[in-house]
A and B are shown apart, each in its own frame.
Chain A
Amino acid sequence: MHRSDFVRQLNNPGGDRRPSRVLHIDIPLLLLLLALCGIGLTVLYSASGQSIFYVKRQASFMLAGLLAMLIMAQFKPRFWERGSILIYIGGLLSLVAVLYFGVGAKGAQRWLDFGFTRFQPSELMKIAVPMMVSAYLSRRHLPPQFKHVFIATVATLLPVFLVARQPDLGTSLIIFASGFFAIFLAGLGKRYLVATVLSALAAIPTLWFYVLLDYQKQRVLTLLNPGEDKLGAGWNIIQSTTAIGSGGWSGKGWTQGTQSQLNFLPESHTDFIIAVLAEEFGLIGVLSLLLVYLLLIGRCMMIALNAQTQFSRLVAGTLSLTFFVYIFVNMGMVSGILPVVGAPLPFISYGGSAIVTLFSGFGILMAISTEQKRI
């Protein structure tokens, strides 16, 4: 008998038969997620120009996401560890397929169209990469040797470049971050860390001249000087900072934001939705949301710390840090401290794929969370 099993029986002699245990649900995590969904739907109603249609659709995405989360939570972490290589390879192949057969909008090919539904492989990779890298490294002796770091890096960069080719800079950045976090948490040596930072700096000119497309460069330039092109590339940032700034402490009130209601704010219900929240609920609203996010991340980190296996630890830690990257990239870009890349604000921005992906990630976290108490 394992020691932990013994303890569990001591604490709970009758066996844990609470529904949350049976269904592999982490209650604090679920409550925080539901809180975010509630905030998201509230802001979306205002941001979409008070469209009950968008709210209904988003709510159904959320239900689908919750369902996906619950299903994924039922599988043991061991299952995900073993399956990660298959998921990763499948994802990689579909990314290649997207480059040739993909459909999309606004000059980017992001989806595979199966007729009855559309599938966005880059979303899958947001989970597949941390799982794959975690699974690979957790089987090595940690901290990893150079060889293993190299392999893990290649495994990360392959999808990063494929997604960047679509082009979808925001998602490729997230995927890169997730791979990097896994390697970092696995105990990447300080020398490698320094080397990574230096090579990232060295890569900037290469990126600028060979990888970034003109519109992407424009966005970076716009960040540096939004006033230069007030009606072109700078418009989004000027309007979003105006929306945020005019919110003040407590905002203009729900559905009362002039910037968003009068359509000055572009993409107000998708990537720029934080500006609507900031305009209508002020700094108090923004900080409240940030607090909920941090509580969620904190809960995830506790799960990571208490996880039973190296794989579980790495996956949970990676997913929680990556989740913060979503938030930082989005809130940073809308407030004008980061270039504009396509990055939705988790659970608040409108969009089905992103919601389902996010919930799936939390499904794995729940699987990890409920495992620890059970072994």
Chain B
Amino acid sequence: MIDNGVFSDPERERNLFARRLFVGTLMTLLLSLVLGLRYFNLQISRYEDFATQSNNNRVLVRPLPPPRGLIYDRSGQLIADNRPSYNLTIVPERSENVEQLLSELGKLINISERDIQSFRKKLTRRRPFEQTTLYVNLSEAERAILAVNGHRLDGAETSAQLIRHYPHRDLYAHAVGYVGRINEQESQTIESVKYSGTDSIGKVGLEKFYETQLLGTVGSEQVETNARGRAMRILQQTPARPGDNLTLYLDTDLQRAAFDAFKGERGALVAIEVETGGILAMVSTPSYDPNLFVTGISQKSYDGLLYSKDRPLFDRAIRGQYPPGSTIKPLFGLIALQHNIVTPNYQINDNGYFYFEGIERPWRDHNFARGGHGDGVNLSKAIIESCNIYFYGLGIKTGIDLLSNYGSQFGLGAKTGIDMPGERPGIMPNRAWKKGAHGQSWFNGDTINTSIGQGFMLTTPLQLAVMSARIASRGDVRAPRLVKSINGIEQTATQVATNIDIDTEHWDYMHQAMQDVVHSRRGTARSINIELDYKIAGKTGTAQAISIDAEDKYDSSKLNKNQWDHALFIAFAPVKDPKIAIGLIVENGEHGGSSAAPIARAVFDAYMASQESVTLVTK
């Protein structure tokens, strides 16, 4: 071969090639050695690490959510149970492209922007290999659509879950409360391990208070999974322990009777079993359907509830604070009797006005225009007809220290200690309180206002009921309780303090006076004694919703209804052997006798009816 005029030398070319091939062979062997060393490094030197990692890859520990404890009323009716619901969850790690998956899912089923937003929010808190709920309560049709398209929805899974259900809907909303999805704030305080299988938590009411008991203990299972997270088989399982079941003192019949008796008016009622302190009925109206909150309420529905002028979300029974008005009079009367400040024989003449030395402006009675309650007003008459003038004098003579001290013993001015979250303490004013709250000394005028339950004084309907129960039980101090037993184990209602020290004759006297409020011809609650075959003791009250100038007369016809006085009523029955005590308020109901007392009657009737049926059964 000739190239550029130079003769080629086959032997030389051959040798050159052989040398080059030798270099190539050396390189080949060298690089093979590199490969061999690399595989040796992975398979032998680092074997332990990779064997562990491969095992972790394959074995997934899944939480088994515990069924939440059930809640029963005292007769065993379900108040809160769990129902299966199918949710759409996403394991981000399993999906190649979560955004694409979301849009794909959006084409198949109707996922709202809000669901997606809340999903994204949750995604930031969860680890990529955890299931995160996107959409709850899949219908059967939606489940079928997802099943058919499952092959192109890697990372999306349908999972069955038990969700909370409240069969009585709005009846128990405030007392029992509801569970809802764990929010950002809560997720920072809860122990995430305990909630690893659960995405809801008690938000208000009993559901919140007894969260620890109701939650149960999460179980776990080790499953072998493939790379798409599909469980192939179960390797080991630790079952979840269901939450504790609660049985309440609440009685659905009474609750229903009370709820219906409000006829949609704003107000609250608490009924207490005198012997135990157990809450038989606890109503705040208007109410709402707690089921709406379980899987996340829509913004529109929520706004509707939140901004309604009736404030249905507001639990008036434990958070509403109202002046007790005249319902405080039996308590103050008892104090005055016990301390010999008045005797049953002590009488006054009430012409409608009360003057106090050094103060020019008089205090008035509610019937000052008709000349007051007239001659011979003793304590009994002052209770029956609700005479303010009598109590102005009684209050001044007793003094705020004694009133306040006893008020506290009857449950006023402090949280009652009920097993519910969010209770408000009300105000039982005294010298120290005024100094602290207003920076002022206590004046006699303050005592006069306090002595008819006005002025600074505020009570919750629960506190009214507690006071009523303590009067009914002749001073037995018990904390009110909703839960009767947990998992069948009776929760002993403990006496929180020694009996209030008031003599029997005074209890007798006051019970009689309160019975006459209902059963006598001039009693302020006489309207409810028609066809009454048992005895009710009660006391009406009226609390100002707005302050009326001293020169003006309260005239409801000149005011908007939401400025009308609140109507209050405390009562217990039967008088001889009190079983049930009630405190209630009807906002802007005007007169305790006409609007509040009939509600109490309805509850008493329901209670007596249930007792009769119990008696019949035992016979």
Interface residues of A (CB under 8 A from B): 139-143, 145, 181, 184-187, 231, 239, 241-249, 258-259, 262-265, 278-279, 282-283, 286-287, 290, 294, 297, 301, 304-305, 310, 313-314, 317, 321, 324, 327-328, 331-332, 335, 337
Contact = CB atoms under 8 A, between A and B. Distances in A.
Interface string B1-33: 101101010100110111011001100110110
Interface stretch (B44-52, B173-181, B458-466, B598-606): B44-52
Interface string B33-67: 01110111011101101110111011000000000
15 contacts: A184-B20, A184-B24, A185-B20, A239-B227, A241-B50, A246-B53, A247-B43, A263-B226, A263-B227, A283-B43, A286-B36, A294-B28, A301-B24, A317-B17, A337-B34
B44 A242 contact: no
Given A185-B21, A258-B54, A301-B24, 8 more contacts: A141-B1, A187-B16, A244-B43, A248-B43, A248-B44, A265-B227, A287-B36, A337-B38
B271 to A, nearest CB: 58
A262 B47 contact: no
Contact of A294 (B10, B32, B53, B224): B32
B289 interface: no
B232 interface: yes
A242 B56 CA distance: 11
Contact of B13 (A142, A231, A321, A335): A142
B3 A140 contact: yes
Contacts of A263: 226-228
Contact of A313 (B8, B17, B35, B224): B17
B28 A244 contact: no
Given A242-B50, A244-B50, A247-B43, A335 B28 contact: no
Given A185-B24, A264-B57, A290-B35, A143 B16 contact: yes
B35 A331 contact: yes
Contacts of B36: 286-287, 290
Contacts of A142: 8, 13, 16-17
Contacts of B32: 290, 294, 324, 328
A42 B202 CA distance: 57
Contacts of B55: 246, 258
Nearest to A275: B42
A306 B39 CA distance: 34
Give the most central of B6, B29, B46, B53: most A CB within 10 Å.
B53
Contacts, number: 145
Contacts of A290: 32, 35-36
A310 B14 CA distance: 8
A297 B8 contact: no
B39 A141 contact: no
A187 B17 contact: yes
B42 A245 contact: yes
Given A141-B1, A259-B57, A314-B17, A245 B51 contact: yes
B150 interface: no
Contacts of B57: 239, 242, 258-259, 262, 264
